[in-house]
Amino acid sequence: MCDTKGSVDLIKVIENTGLVYGKDYVAMYDSTMARFWFMNDEARETIEDVLSFQSSGKIVNDDELKEMRVFFEDRRFGELFFLTNPGTLINPSYFGLQAIPGMHGFHPDHKDSYSLMFSSTSIDENINSITDIRKVMEKEIKNEK
């Protein structure tokens, strides 16, 4: 968990562009990330421009998404991703209307994103990333040894 230090009303920032939700774009505002899908090029250019000037976070490009192993060619999870700086929440968001004192979900390279895994059984799998934990969970659900 990362201590929160502030928040940004990204919904208002995007609404102030004059673009129309559902006509020009669709967005998902998580606590630390906003994801966008676009219905036209003007909306994409406008939102990219507005987000590029936000000091509260940054646009995550495709190369970085690939490096984090969260890039999807079909863009089902978003065409553009904006990730807040560690300690900054999107508030309000679709997860809440009040900022809370701690949050996870910031950039995986940040020190507060490091984790530790405890288990009452031995774990054979080579765990190098949070995405590797799924194999362990599936094995436990199936009660495999």
* pLDDT, tens digit (0-9, with 9 covering 90-100), for 59-93: 999 999 998 888 889 999 999 999 999 999 999 99
pTM: 0.80
CATH number, residue 68: 3.30.1360.180
Q: Is residue 108 one of the residues assigned to a domain?
A: no
At 54, is the secondary structure helix, strand, or coil?
coil
Per-residue CA distances from 55 to 59, 66, 67 (Å): 11, 24, 23
Q: Is residue 91 one of the residues assigned to a domain?
A: yes
Upper half-sphere CA count for residue 35 (Cβ side, 13 Å): 13
What's the rounded Cα separation, in Å, for the pair 14 and 94? Answer: 15
Range of the domain at 43: 2-102
pLDDT classification of 136: cutoffs 50, 70, 90: confident
